């Protein structure tokens, strides 16, 4: 009886510690969201599109300055417009969805590290993510990066769980729903990142078992249910949209041949990307040498 009572106390203490850490992470991410105006051009674009979405009552075709703005799919616009409708047209309301999404990413990191190692590792993972320079900065700006990073993190977590529970339908449904949200967040080309994750798993395991287990028909059905309603509706409202979006805004953007050109991708070196990534990972990149041997043993 004494051991059972101690176990219950320990479990309750662990649970409260998790709650407190996650709430602390939320407070960090929502702090100061409304303390400064919207930056141009990116925050102005996203905020302006969401504002016109509300004013027009048109949640299918995004508009900017009165003209259709079909450069990106609508997921982030929908989130900002919903937040603005609930909390008013303020900088805080416009940025709040990204902070909440960043917090959800921290919850995924907490759960994943907890299952890999122990409760302390989960709490540490959540706090480290919330206090990483890049995560903090991008949850305080209206940019799509945190949304995509969180979707990708959750997708990789589902892939990891399915390696251990290949017959768990919940994780299959979550996986393909997340892939659908990735398409609504960035476009079909973004599906290449989960594919890279699958290839990495196959390479490390020296096996194609994961690809053999993928429920392709289920994936097509679930992903289509998530994505096709908007793609069909926007194509009907704007004939030619899909061709423009798939080629000009996805494939040609990757090839740096998009028109009009907006990013000088080809002029950024690989070393430059690595340096910027290292800066965004401060201060926790300093523990990377110690973390790599631990990660390699997973």
Residue 65 is assigned to a structural domain of this protein:
yes
Quickly state the pLDDT bin for 260 (edges 50, 70, 90): low
pTM (2 d.p.): 0.89
Q: What is the distance between the alpha carbons of residues 293 and 297, in angstroms, rounded to a whole number?
A: 7
For the segment 90-142, what is each residue's pLDDT rounded down to a tens digit?
A: 999 999 999 999 999 999 999 999 999 999 999 999 999 999 999 999 999 99
Residue 264: left if φ>0, alpha if ψ -120 to 50, beta else—which one?
Answer: beta
Where is pLDDT greater, at 246 or 86? Answer: 86
Residue 154 is assigned to a structural domain of this protein:
yes
Where is pLDDT greater, at 5 or 175? Answer: 175
Instruction: State residue 7's pLDDT score.
Output: 44
Residue 142 is assigned to a structural domain of this protein:
yes
Instruction: State residue 6's pLDDT score.
Output: 38
Quickly state the pLDDT bin for 244 (edges 50, 70, 90): confident
Burial of 220 (0-12, 13-18, 19+ CB in 10 A): exposed
Residue 47 is assigned to a structural domain of this protein:
yes
Where is pLDDT greater, at 43 or 243? Answer: 43
Residue 84 is assigned to a structural domain of this protein:
yes
Residue 272 is assigned to a structural domain of this protein:
no
Residue 252 is assigned to a structural domain of this protein:
yes
The residue range of the domain holding 223 is: 35-267
- As for how many domains the chain has, the answer is 1
Q: What is the distance between the alpha carbons of residues 57 and 186, in angstroms, rounded to a whole number?
A: 22
Residue 111 is assigned to a structural domain of this protein:
yes
């Amino acid at each position: 009886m004494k051991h059972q009572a101690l176990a219950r106390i320990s479990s309750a203490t662990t649970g409260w510690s998790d709650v407190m850490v996650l709430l602390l992470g939320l407070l960090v991410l929502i702090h100061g969201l409304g303390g400064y105006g919207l930056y141009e051009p990116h925050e102005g674009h996203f905020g302006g599109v969401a504002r016109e979405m509300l004013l027009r009552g048109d949640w299918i075709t995004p508009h900017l300055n009165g003209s259709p703005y079909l450069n990106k799919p609508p997921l982030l616009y929908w989130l900002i417009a919903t937040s603005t409708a609930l909390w008013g047209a303020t900088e805080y309301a416009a940025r709040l969805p990204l902070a909440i999404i960043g917090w959800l990413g921290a919850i995924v990191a907490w759960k994943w590290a907890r299952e890999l190692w122990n409760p302390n590792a989960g709490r540490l993972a959540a706090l480290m993510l919330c206090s990483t320079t890049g995560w903090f900065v991008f949850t305080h700006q209206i940019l799509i990066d945190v949304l995509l990073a969180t979707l990708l993190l959750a997708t990789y977590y589902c892939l990891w769980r399915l390696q251990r529970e290949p017959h768990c339908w919940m994780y299959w449904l979550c996986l393909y729903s997340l892939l659908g949200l990735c398409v609504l967040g960035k476009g079909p080309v973004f599906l290449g990142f989960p594919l890279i994750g699958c290839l990495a798993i196959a390479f490390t395991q020296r096996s194609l078992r994961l690809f053999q287990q993928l429920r392709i028909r289920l994936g097509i059905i679930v992903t289509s249910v998530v994505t096709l309603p908007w793609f069909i509706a926007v194509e009907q409202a704007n004939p030619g949209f899909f061709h423009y979006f798939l080629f000009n805004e996805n494939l040609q953007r990757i090839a740096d041949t998009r028109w009009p050109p907006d990013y000088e991708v080809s002029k950024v070196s690989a070393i430059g990307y690595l340096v910027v990534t290292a800066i965004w990972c401060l201060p926790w990149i300093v523990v990377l040498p110690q973390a790599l041997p631990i990660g390699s043993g997973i």
